Amino acid sequence: MSLNNENYRKQTKGTLNMKLKKLTTVFSRKRTPDEAGFTLTELMIVMAVIALLAGTIVTNVMKQFDKAKVEATKNQIRAIGQVLDEFRRECGFYPTTEQGLDALITKPTAGKECKNYDPEGYIKGGKLPKDGWNQDLTYSCDGNKYKIISLGRDGAEGGEGLDADLSSDDL
């Protein structure tokens, strides 16, 4: 019985060696000019890797882009706050809620009158800045304190994350 096992092992080993030689010959042989190029499997693997990398990169870039919009909006609110403070120094009051931020571009015709109003306005270019999502900022004033609000990405009151409102009170 041990002789049979020994012969079986030799036969099996020989058969395996022959199969391995055939496989290595198939994969390592030089391709003819008609066979040059990549196989479909190789191309599919490369495309899958590229798609995974692109997905990861796009996701990270979009997160940074959204953060940049929030920061840009905060900066716009701060800048308008400085312009409102300059308006108050020259006029003695903040624009009323009814006059709104338009009072920084053109001299208000209703409500309190500013005798020292800058003829060129307080925002050059005659255009009010918008928030990072290209929406108008809202303004209110009780006479002593103003409030500038961006309604966030969704343009509606409230919300969380990128949809959260940004207020001059919170900066």
Q: What is the DSSP letter of 118?
A: -
Instruction: Tell me the per-residue pLDDT of 1-21, one tens digit each, with 9 for 90 and over.
Output: 455 666 666 666 666 666 666
Please report the pLDDT score of residue 111 as a whole number. 84
Would you say residue 107 lies in a domain?
yes
CA quadruple 132, 138, 140, 145: dihedral, nearest 10: 0
Would you say residue 116 lies in a domain?
yes
Domain that holds residue 81: 61-170
The CATH number of residue 67's host domain is 3.30.700.10
- The number of folded domains in the chain is 1
User: Does 28 score more than 90 pLDDT?
Assistant: no
| Mean pLDDT computed over 85-112 | 93
Instruction: Tell me the per-residue pLDDT of 130-161, one tens digit each, with 9 for 90 and over.
Output: 999 999 999 999 989 999 999 999 989 988 98
List the beta strands (DSSP E) in the chain. Answer: 138-141, 146-150, 166-167
**Cα–chain center distance at 28:** 47
With beta carbons less than 8 A apart as the criterion, state whether 140 and 146 touch. Answer: yes
With beta carbons less than 8 A apart as the criterion, state whether 110 and 58 touch. Answer: no
pLDDT band at 62 (very low <50, low <70, confident <90, very high): confident
Would you say residue 137 lies in a domain?
yes
| Mean pLDDT computed over 40-52 | 94
Would you say residue 32 lies in a domain?
no
